Structure 1
Amino acid sequence: MNIITFKKILFSFLFLTSLTMMGQETGKVTGKVILSGNTPAENISVSLKGTKYNAVTNQHGQYEIKNVKAGSYTISIKSVGIRPVEENIVVTAKQTTTKNFSLSETQEDLDEVVITKNKYKQDKPSLSLRLQTPVLEIPQNIQIVSGQTLKDQQIISMSDGVIRNVSGAVRLEHWGDMYTNITMRGSQIQAFRNGFNVVSSFWGPLTEDMSFVDHIEFVKGPAGFMLSSGDPSGLYNVVTKKPTGVTKGEATVMAGSYDFYRASLDLDGKLDKKGKFLYRFNGAIQKKGSHRPFEHNDRYVFAPVLSYQVDDKTKITLEYNLQHANMSEVGSFYVFGADAARYGTMPVGFTMTQPGLPDTKINDHSGYLVFEHKFDDNWKVTAQTTYFKYLQEGYSSWPSGVGPGPVDLNYDGTPDGTLAVGEIIRNVGIWDSESNMFLGQIFVNGKFNTGAVTHKVLGGVDLGSKDYIADWGQSHDLDTFATPFNIFNPNYGTPANGLPNFDRQTPLSIRAKAAGGLMSSEYAAGYVQDELGFFDNKLRVTAGLRYTWISQSSWGGDPVADAHITPRGGISFSVTESTAIYGLYDQAFIPQSGIIKSGEKVQPLTGSNLEFGIKKDWFDGTWSTTLSVYSILKQNELTGDPQNEPGQQYSIVLGEKRARGAEFDLRGKIFDGFNVIANYAFTESRVLELSNGVSGIKVGDDIPGFAKHVANAWLNYSIPSGKLKGLGASIGGTYLAGRLTDTWSAGLERLPNYFKLDGGLSYETGKMKFTANVFNILNEYLYSGSYYASTNVNAYYWQTEQPTNVRFGVTYKF
């Protein structure tokens, strides 16, 4: 053996010896980090303070730190938006030290900044819902549509396909992309934004552009207890994007069929080195045509947010949203049938609108100021206020007469002329409006124990003032009896009676008063709720009480004031850590706007909800299911008078109606790369009692505006590894059966069943993602509408959806 060989052997021996000694002197640290409700906390930084040893939790909340030198350490848990959690540990050579962490649910900010690979499932509601409880444990059906869902489905506004992700939600009578108007559990639900009820009239608010939306929460059943007044059928709460403290950006451009072009930008970051002063900016610009000629809906959005962390306990957030819409007149999408026999008798792209009409312009402003202060880990106070200002200068279209038959344009009992089949006199009315809303909330969340019983307390005060004024008192017939509009031979040249020239010199307040377009409401409310936890919080009992005072006026009438006390009681029991059953009884009390022909005063709507359900998280919470059954009673509800003539806006007090049904929702990651949203709902809504003097409606009649059977599915698979990693495909469908029209006019035919199939492909590589979706793949003739019966108009009317159309998008993250 030569000297060189000897040295190699000696070196190898010493090297192996040193490795053995190192192995004898080191250990391993492992564990799991969870949120409340046993939800895994992903992407959380775990480190041994003052050393190089660190790790990040995986999708199951697990972490592992190897080759740690034996000794005493301080282990630290960190994430943007929460205070560090630190504990002392001892690492022993050749042994594994296990340290698990359960993050306190008072660290609410964590839920807003943790990015999870579970694209379609969120486990906690937003802070604006005021709850401190995971969705699994809340005694109510709450479904959350995640931001990634909106991106995958290329949803651009609140009225653009969001409802496919929630059981039982429908839009049977569309308002284009102007107002959302969602029906659920048998009636129209309330529109909320960041916890505020932002409905100022029958038609508002302007549907939210998705550029500044983080996610959307659908709360089934009464939610007026927590969120000012609300309909007993439920609400949707649009949660806007907030600063996360992570410096990042995202730019997206999209293009599609029928002259659709869009660009959006999302910037997120810090304005100081310490990360106390944060910002978020979202903006978008859009040009959107239609499958019908002469129709468009163009927009731009500007949405900055600033937040300042004064200290560990106090944060202030300031937010502003501007949405500007420049669109065709309201009603341009309606088509009236060629005969009185059925819907859908005209081509899918047919239009009755008149080119050359001025655009309808809308500016929707909203500003928020939020103050949050934590007294300690158990008590927090939140005060927030908002101001909404809505400005509209525009037009609406509806025919004065539809043939065949005599037409009385002056409504004086004497026919002014006769129209043949297919002949129409189109009418354009003015629609100028302004809305001002001042809303404020202050509430306290607290936790404490009395012996073995835990308490989660919520108490607060809501204040609001809403005013809406509108001029719809001017109108103009575009056509004449000598030269009517003929749907079989349409002429889109200058109309025979010219274009309208409305008075806009007179101040809107004066014009609105003359037209009866004045509505207002003021309210004040106080509430308290306690969620009691028994047997280590396996059994949860919720009890609450709310006092609400409301003063309202409608259509220029005198204000009417009333007050009401509404109780709330719920129970939720965790059969296992991942399964909970619940029951809920709740009441609602909300103002109504309308005018009754007899002069009767409009009273607030009252309602009650009884609901039972079972919720389950599957496979460590990667996907979840909810099954619920409910019965809702509503009293004093206003509805459109079936005896209305054209131009009349009278309402009637229906009496009592009941909605009942069953709902099933599934969402989440079934296995790595495969995400699913699926739901089904059966809904039945009928008249139980009629008020005196109501005609045209019978006890047992179905309530308009819902579908008895609604089923949706959206499946997405992205290849998680290998050469094709990042390639994805989606397929989804919507099926509606037993569709009812949106009015009491039964007509001769109801809406047919509806089926829409969509799908797409995507590819993500590095900082780039490419997405392409095809909507209405089967090129079905899809529409919704109703039958309108009056002196001059007796016809089916409907609006069609786009035939097969495509959207292509590119996103760059930086």
Structure 2
Amino acid sequence: MNSIRHFFSLALLVWASAAFAQSTGGIRGRVTNRNGGAVEAVSVGLQGLPQGDITDDQGRFMIRPVAPGTYTLVVSAVGLKTEQQSVTVTAGQTATVNFSLAESAAELKEVVVSGNRTNKFSRTNSDDVAKMPLKNVENPQVYNTVTKELLTEQLVFTADDATRNVPGLQRMWEATGRAGDGGSYYAMRGFIVQTQLRNGLVGNVTNTIDAVNLEKLEVIKGPSGTLYGSSLTSYGGLLNRVTKRAYDHFGGELSYAGGSYNFNRVALDLNTPLNSAKTILFRVNGAWNYEKSFQTAGFSRTYAVAPSLTIRPSEKLSITLDGELQTGTGTTKQTFFPQGTATTLGASRADELPLDYRQAYTGDGLWAKSRSVNLFGQVNYQLSPAWRSSTNYTYSSSYSDGGGVYFYLRGNRRGLASQDSLERRSQNTSDSRANLTEVQQLFNGDFLLGNLRNRVVVGLDFLHLRNSQLFLDYGFDVVPIRAGYNYSNFTGAALEAANAGTSAYPYLVDNERNTYSAFVSDVLNITDRLNILAAVRIDRFANKGGTYFGPEASYNQTAYSPKFGAVYQLVPEQLSVFANYQNSFRNPGFYTTATAANPTQPISVNAKLEQANQVEAGVKFDRLGGRFTATLSLYNIYVKNLLRYDPTIGSFYAQTQNGEQLSRGVEVDIIANPAKGLNVVGGFSYNYSELAVSTADEQGRRPNTASSPVLANLWVSYRLSEGPLRGLGLGAGGNYASDNRIQNTTSSVFILPAYTVLNASAFYDQPRYRLSVKADNLTNTHYWIGYTTINPQKLRSIIGQVALKF
């Protein structure tokens, strides 16, 4: 009953807002510079009134509702001379006012001037990458941005699929839904990473992440411990989801999509102001998905809802409250663990195995439940013209319960007639939970010391982690791999019956830790073209101990992380060269070893901090008024104090902490709009990784978790921008990955073969509706990904969508 009441209250509010709009008017227009280029992110407001808007990347603004009358419209931003015009508003009509601004000497230091930008897939500035507003061409760090416009054109529904547009990023393991670690795993610059950040703060999702609330995906490259710490990042970088926020007029979209493998999806995006002054704004995004597997058994059902409320009591103060709830029910994606060497398996490549690509090797009833909840609060306050405060709170919780199927590939075993056999098991989670709480206080300043401009962020951060997870390993059977064998007997009921009266082998994770951090970063403009970045972070780890697959002792440890960078703009705002030194670290806490005299008696040793240091240099472009953006970079990462197995002791427990890893490579990212309606997104990366200090059978070889050395991505689209078929478009592209060695020792090399996967889409985009269709894996390619594992990927799928805009 409460839900019905809330629904009708919202409907009444929307109707009242619409009725009120009929007795009012609006003001719209465009802000350009004196060269005709669009001016983005400047304030446009009514003098003496709280109503206003911020220009978008086309320089456009819209203010509504506005009561009939005559007003003074003011455009202002730091670095621009304030401009104003008189405008008369008539009830039921929208007045148009355009501004052509005269730049001050400092204009380009604060205002994004995008110059007739039609490159809709490009974003040339970010608030999160450096934890301050900074344009790409003046940022010494490399990052890639995947925009919502590209996701819409490609008909992308998950963050996993969004990552195919990022150079040098490869998905390694699909989401399992397990609490704590159940999200997808990726490899970047030779290191494993998960997506655990949302708007620069913790926002972990342990299932496949729905893209319904995704404004853009930022992928920040290299060790980034100085600004983001070590708990949520890797030495290769991090993934940050930037979410949709409420805006100041009624609007939204309702869509339905359906297609291959019984795919069905309903999604809603609804936005409305909650008062006439537009100081309270509400937006909610939600989606429901159902899909069967491309194999003989398996399914996935997910729900996602993300409400957001923005309150602006004054020009100086804004409050944002938002959340994410995602639930999932389904079977885990198929994962094979090769047991033994290529010789014992009788194959050195995945395509040589006798596996049936479309066979699930299970029956029905093997599924699990998962849930992720993220709650956020942010208070922004303009302390003075030069200083702004941002207070942030986030709570992230994940839960899982149920089975996850695992397959172990073996050679001839237990007298089976076939040479190849498959051990079928389930690793269940039972009422497993992981909770993270983060509180972060930022102070951002932009001021002059003498004639030198300083952009500063000072941050204090507290992160609390509480794990309570129980993993239960159940065996089922070992079966031959051969055509015609009936594998459907591996069901949920059969697994329960087979293990009745027996105890599963338990793995317990039950621990708690706090991290207290402080950091400061300063971008100093030595000249109009040269800026230097210097930053440092200090972390204090307080691990309260507990259990992590065994006893875990409590400990305290302190880490420091510096960062330096330099950018010189050869052509102001268009072409820059950069270099950086970046650092990150990891806190292993302790490790287990033994002595040669008593190898069966484990000994706990406090670990030193792992340290990763990167040096990088490159070139950034933002030419032709934003129609061509590109980054070319060369990097070298060195990691020391890695934990590794110590074979000299002859004990299963024995580890030592003297491992070293090198990772170096080149990355190219291009986003271009070479002709009207034509857009290109492309990337290339090559990574060389080597275990410089390791065991004899691994030293000097590429780690088996480093992914494919060569990766490439491309998307080309054309949209008619004029004529009766305006809005009709086609897009096509794909991804290439070279061989991935998931076993790489002197005794065994096992390869996931190189692959090229092609995708395409067609769409007809109109102001009130959009019709779309896409084909993923157009050529029905058989290919595998893996994080030391073998994971077959989805075959060709075709999905269509109808979207209504309002």
TM over 0.5: yes
- Structure 1 counterpart of 2:538, from 544, 547, 565: 547
CA–CA separation in structure 2 for the residues paired with 1:48 and 1:139:
38
Tell me the residue number matched to 1:799. 791
Specify the code of the residue in structure 1 equivalent to 2:460: V
Structure 1, 379-388 or 163-172: larger mean CA deviation: 163-172
Moved more, 347-356 or 185-194: 347-356
Deviations 1:203-238, CA, capped at 9 Å, x for gaps? x73332101111111111122211232323211101
Task: In structure 2, give the amino acid aligned to 1:192.
Answer: Q
* 1:18 corresponds to: none
In structure 2, C-alpha distance between the alignment counterparts of 1:711 and 1:402, rounded to whole Å: 33
Distance apart, 1:97 and its partner CA = 11
Cα distance in 2 between the residues matched to 1:48 and 1:370: 26
Change beyond 3 A, Cα 1:767–1:362 = same
Matches within 5 A, 1:171-186: 171-175=171-175, 179-186=183-190
Distance 2:485 2:253 in 1: 46
> What CA deviation, in whole Å up to 9, does each residue of 1:216-261 have, x standing for no partner?
1111112221123232321110111111223211112111211111
Q: Is 1:564 aligned to residue 559 of structure 2?
A: yes
**CA distance in structure 1 between the partners assigned to 2:654 and 2:519 by the alignment:** 34
Structure 1 residue 405: Cα displacement: 3.0
Aligned counterpart in structure 2 of residue 619 of structure 1, from 618, 624, 644: 624
Output one character per residue of 1:769-789: Cα deviation in whole Å (capped at 9) or x when no partner.
1111112222221123477xx
User: Which among 403, 409, 416 is matched to residue 395 of structure 1?
Assistant: 403
Pairwise CA distance, 1:398: 2.6
Output the TM-score relative to the length of structure 1.
0.80
Q: 1:284 is matched with which residue?
A: 287
Q: Cα offset for 1:467? A: 2.0
8 Å contact 1:455–1:532 — kept in the other structure? yes
The 5-angstrom pairing of residues 365-514 of structure 1 reads 365-399=373-407, 402-406=410-414, 420-432=418-430, 433-477=432-476, 479=477, 484=479, 486-495=481-490, 498-500=494-496
Runs of 5+ unmatched residues, structure 1: 1-28, 64-72, 407-416, 788-796
Q: Distance in 2 between matches of 1:804 and 1:354?
A: 22
In structure 1, the residue matched to 2:569 is 574
Change (3 A) 1:744 1:395: farther
Q: Secondary structure at the match of 2:169?
A: coil
Task: Give the SS at the match of 2:126.
Answer: coil
**Could you tell me how far 1:671 is from its partner in structure 2?**
2.6
Residues 83 and 659 (structure 1 numbering): CA distance in 2 closer, same or farther, change over 3 Å?
A: closer
Q: Shift in Å at residue 463 of structure 1?
A: 0.8
Residue 85 to residue 157, structure 1, CA distance change in 2 (3 Å): farther
Amino acid at match of 1:775: D
User: Paired residue for 1:67?
Assistant: none
Q: Say if 2:146 and 2:217, in contact at 8 Å, map to a contact too.
A: yes
Aligned equivalents of 1:259 and 1:641: distance in 2? 50
In 1: Cα distance, 2:119 partner to 2:173 partner: 34
Structure 1 residue 145 displacement after superposition: 0.8
My pick for the range that moved more, 744-753 or 389-398, is 744-753
**Cα pair distance change 1:308/1:106, threshold 3 Å:** farther
Structure 2 CA distance, aligned partners of 1:558 and 1:55?
Answer: 54
Query: 2:55 & 2:448 partners in 1: Cα distance?
Result: 31
Mapped to 2, the partners of 1:517 and 1:358 lie a distance apart of: 23
650, 658, 665: which one aligns with 2:662: 658
> Any conservation in 2 of the 1:365–1:389 contact (CA below 8 Å)?
yes
1:695-726 CA-to-partner distances (Å, cap 9, x unmatched) read 64224444533211111100111011012211
Shift of 1:49: 8.2
Paired residue for 2:170?
170
| 2:385 is equivalent to residue 343 of structure 1 | no
* Partner SS state of residue 431, structure 1: strand
AA partner of residue 469 (structure 2): A
Show the counterpart of 1:808: 800
Structure-2 residue corresponding to 1:87: 83
Contact 1:286 1:300 in 2 (8 A): yes
- Which residue of structure 1 aligns with residue 15 of structure 2? none
Write the mapping of 1:760-799 to structure 2, written as runs, cut at 5 A. 760-785=761-786, 798-799=790-791
Higher mean alpha-carbon deviation, 587-596 vs 538-547, is at 587-596
% same residue: 21
Secondary structure at the residue paired with 1:159?
A: helix
Distance 1:469 1:291 in 2: 34
Counterparts in 2 of 1:671-690, with a 5 A limit? 671-690=675-694
Aligned partner of 2:737 in structure 1 is 736
Name which of 578, 583, 586 aligns with 1:587.
583
- CA shift in 2, pair 1:784/1:211, >3 Å: same
Distance in 2 between residues matched to 1:232 and 1:703, nearest whole Å: 16
SS at match of 1:164: helix
Asked whether the equivalents of residues 338 and 410 of structure 2 are also in contact (C-alpha less than 8 Å), the reply is no
Tell me which amino acid in the other structure corresponds to 1:360: A
Which position in structure 2 is the counterpart of 1:223? 224
Question: In the alignment, which residue of structure 2 is the partner of 1:269?
Answer: 272
Comparing 264-273 and 736-745, the one that deviates more: 736-745
Query: CA separation of 1:98/1:211 partners in 2, compared to 1, >3 Å: closer, same or farther?
Result: closer
Q: Is the 8 A contact 2:31 2:55 kept in 1?
A: no
Give the alignment of 1:700-715 within 5 angstroms.
Answer: 700-702=701-703, 704-715=705-716
Q: How far apart in 1 are the matches of 2:75 and 2:460?
A: 36
Instruction: Label 1:658 to 1:504 Cα distance change in 2 as closer, same or farther (>3 A).
Output: farther
Tell whether the 8 Å contact from 1:196 to 1:228 is kept in structure 2 after alignment: no
Q: CA deviation at 1:748?
A: 4.4
Q: Secondary structure at the match of 1:500?
A: helix
Alignment-mate amino acid for residue 529 of structure 1: S
- Equivalent position amino acid for 1:679 in 2: G
Q: Contact 1:642/1:745 (CA < 8 Å) preserved in 2?
A: no
2:302 partner amino acid: R
| 1:43 and 1:116 in contact (8 A); partners too | no
Larger Rg: 1
Aligned residue number for residue 64 of structure 2:
none
Bigger fraction of residues in strand: 2
The amino acid of 2:699's aligned partner reads: K
- Asked if structure 2 preserves the Cα contact closer than 8 Å seen for 1:106 and 1:377, the reply is no
Q: Which residue is equivalent to 2:91?
A: none
Partner of 2:364: 356
Deviation at 1:649, TM superposition (A): 10
Aligned residue in 1 for 2:13: none
**Residue of structure 2 equivalent to 1:717:** 718
Distance in 2 (CA, whole Å) between partners of 1:503 and 1:348 is: 28
Q: Is the 8 A contact 1:522 1:550 kept in 2?
A: yes
What's the secondary structure of 2:567's corresponding residue?
Answer: strand
Please tell me the root mean square deviation across aligned C-alpha atoms, in Å: 4.2
2:338/2:408 contact within 8 Å kept: no
SS of the aligned residue for 1:136 comes to helix
1:192 to 196, 200, 203: 196
Conserved? CA contact 1:367–1:387, under 8 Å: yes
In structure 2, distance between residues paired with 1:55 and 1:517: 49
User: Aligned partners of 2:141 and 2:195: how far apart in 1?
Assistant: 18
Report what 2:518 is aligned to: 526
Q: Is residue 2:151 matched to residue 1:156? A: no
For the residues of structure 2 that align with 1:546 and 1:741, how far apart are their CA atoms?
35
Provide Cα deviations, 1:344-399, integer angstroms capped at 9, x if missing partner.
24466433442233421001111011111111332101111111111100222234
Q: Secondary structure at the match of 1:494?
A: coil
Give aligned pairs, total: 726
User: Structure 2 CA distance, aligned partners of 1:187 and 1:774?
Assistant: 31
CA distance in 1, matches of 2:622, 2:255: 33
Q: Say whether the 8 Å CA contact 1:43–1:56 is kept in structure 2.
A: yes
Q: Match for 2:671 among 653, 667, 676?
A: 667
Which TM-score applies when normalising by structure 2? 0.81
Letter in 1 for 2:413: G
Tell me which amino acid in the other structure corresponds to 2:346.
A
CA distance in 2: counterparts of 1:750 and 1:167, whole angstroms: 22
Aligned partner of 1:237 among 219, 237, 240? 240
Which digits, 9 at most, give the CA deviation of each residue in 1:103-132, with x for residues without a partner? 989999x99xx9985320112113575122
